[in-house]
Amino acid sequence: MKKHLIVAAILTSVVIIGILKNMVFAEYKVDGNSMQPTLPEGEYFSINKWSYWFHDIDRFDIVVFQLPEENEVLVKRVIGLPGDEIQYKGNHLYINNQKVNEPFLPKQENEIFNQTQTGDFTLEEVTGVKQVPEDAVFVIGDNRLNSRDSRHFGFVKTKHIIGKVNPK
């Protein structure tokens, strides 16, 4: 009789752990190269779906989100948080008029490439507003020359963020 209880307890535990794992974590496969070299095409990564229930979104978090108009799921890096003014000038990021380092970007030997990697723009030029709205973030892919991101489709509403990519 004890063996049956032990087996039942183990099976119940495995089922509960499996259900919780799928509710909290999800696995995605990188489709495309917009996040290279950080997330190479074809690589699998895990996201924490509950992370933002307990913590605020931080600048430079990598997030998975849904574009509801296109029914598409994308992965990008958060550059702008609510209230931020963003500008790229001379291939450098300025947030609220302060130059910000982006250590995750690939270093290139070609100075001309470096100057055109992101391109110059202001938030107002690409979105029509000066600051990131309170309920949204501004996202860009790490492979700036080959990324469809907030420069193209605008802000991502925080309610459309599925989760945070877990670091390796």
Q: Which residues carry out catalysis?
A: 34, 76
Which SS3 state, helix, strand or coil, does residue 120 take? coil
Identify the CA nearest to 22 among candidates 55, 53, 62, 49: 49
* Distance from C-alpha of 48 to C-alpha of 76, rounded to nearest angstrom: 15
Backbone angles phi, psi at 146, to 5 degrees: -135, 55
Find out whether 139 and 126 touch, Cβ atoms under 8 Å. no
* Distance from C-alpha of 19 to C-alpha of 96, rounded to nearest angstrom: 43
* Distance from C-alpha of 96 to C-alpha of 99, rounded to nearest angstrom: 9
Which amino acid is present at 76? K
Find out whether 117 and 107 touch, Cβ atoms under 8 Å. no
